[in-house]
Structure formats: C-alpha cells, structure tokens
Amino acid sequence: MRKKVIAANWKMNGTLEQANDLLDAFASATLNVNEEKIAVFAVPAPYLLLAKEKLVGNPFLKVAAQNCYSKKSGAYTGEISVEILKSIGIEFVVLGHSERREYFGESNSFLAEKVNISLEFGITPIFCCGEPLEIREAETQNAFVAKQLEESLFHLTAEGINKIIIAYEPIWAIGTGKTASNQQAQEMHASIRSVIAAKYGADIANEISILYGGSVKASSAVDLFAEPDVDGGLVGGASLIADEFIKIINA
C-alpha cells in the first residue's frame, strides 16, 4: 500500500523566531500520522537541524531539504550536497520544483543527475512535475508532464523508481489562489500513473505516491485527497499557517 504524504514547502520564508513558533505548533499538535501517513517539512536550509530537533518526538514527522546539488562535494560555493544532508539525518529532498526550473534554469537532464545522487545517498526525492498555463490551454499537459518524467526518471531501475515520490504541480495554480479542480487533479495523477505503468508495470505504478501541489487549502483538502490517485499534497503558503496546515495534515 502506497503512503499518504503531506509535504510543507516553506520556500524562502520565515525568520528564526517564526520557524521556532511553527515547529513548536506542529510538534505539539495532535496529528493524523502513522506508518502509512507521514508529514514532511521542507524548510529553508538554515532551519534543517532546528526542524530535526523540534520534530524528533514524532517518528512520522520528517524533514526535507528544498534542493540539493548534483555533485557529492567540491568547489560549488553556496550549494548543498546530499552528502551534507545525509550527514545531518535528512531523509527527503524536493527536486524540480517549478520555481527551480523557471528561475534557475534546471533542465530535465540536470534533475536526473540530482535524482541519481539523492538515491545513491539514500535520500528520497520528492520529484516535482507540472505544466504552465499555455500548455494547459493547448491541452497538451499530459504529454508535457510525461516528457518531464521520462527525461528525469525513466533511466532508473524498477527498484529506483519505487523510491521516488512524485508531486504534480499545475504551475498556473501555484501561489495564484487558483486550484485545479478535483477532476483535473485526478485526471493528471491517473495519467502520471499510467505513464509509469507503461514503463515499469502496474504493480510498481500503484506503489508510488503522487502528491498534488497548487494552492492546497484545508477547506478543499478532504475532497481532493479522496480522489483515488491523489496521495496527498505539496503545500506552500498554507504550510506557513499552523492551524491551516494541521487541518490539511488531518484531512
């Protein structure tokens, strides 16, 4: 049975004081998490150890880096390697977020390198994919997302692909207040699963968690997460509001 996952992406937000308050709120809350339902907190890099320390009391609350570099180590000032992340006990890393693709020019092939080194060090990639508005309007979103998967993930073995979490994020719905309808989300998640099944088989495809990311709110979470191929969410702005994100986790 595939895991349900709610991942918080704080992006470049929060002072140390705010991070302390948020993490304390999540650590002390009654959360619907267990071996099959986990919450992951992708915090800014300076807060990774703080988050580990604050959330240590609940084994189903995990910490993720928001990015990593494609090399093990070296003269790459300002970058963070998976070797460093592994050394401080980080288990997850967000890769290929649309903001990394758009603002920093990260290509599918470059992301494949990041996927490889993350898996080499035993860190689980939360691999983001999704289409911009013009692709959605042209109704070519399925092929667009399939290409992202094929060029970044499909070199992996079945064992490797089974260690990936996928996050589908319609770029037109990130930070805009717009949300894909439950039907649109389900259709894309089902398409992603079918593309994986065509390459690796249905059994493997049915084991992979596929999250929805794009202005997820507590008010819509229950119905969204009830869709058969939606296994949770990658949550941005709402994850910075403790009460809101607690409701989303418990949905």
Q: What is the mean pLDDT of residues 2-30?
A: 97
What pLDDT, on a 0 to 100 scale, did the predictor assign at position 20? 98
Q: Which of 84, 44, 50, 79 is nearest to 65 (CA)?
A: 44
Q: Which of 243, 245, 131, 133 is nearest to 192 (CA)?
A: 131
Catalytic residue among 106, 131, 169, 244: 169
Q: Which residue has the tokens 């790459």?
A: 76
Catalytic residue among 97, 99, 106, 131: 97
Q: Domain holding 97: CATH number?
A: 3.20.20.70
> The domain containing residue 33 runs over which residues?
4-250
pTM: 0.96
What pLDDT, on a 0 to 100 scale, did the predictor assign at position 214? 83
Tell me the pLDDT tens digit for each residue of 197-248: 999 999 999 999 999 998 889 998 999 999 999 999 999 999 999 999 999 9
Q: At what angle do helices 141-153 and 108-120 cross, to 10 degrees?
A: 50
Q: Is 169 a catalytic residue?
A: yes
Q: Is the dihedral of CA 72, 73, 77, 78 positive or negative?
A: positive
Question: Alpha carbon 4 to chain centroid distance?
Answer: 12
**Cα dihedral 225/20/164/219 (nearest 10):** 10
Assign 116 a pLDDT band (cuts: 50, 70, 90): very high
Give percent above pLDDT 90 in the chain.
Answer: 93
Largest CA distance in the chain: 48
Domain count across the chain: 1
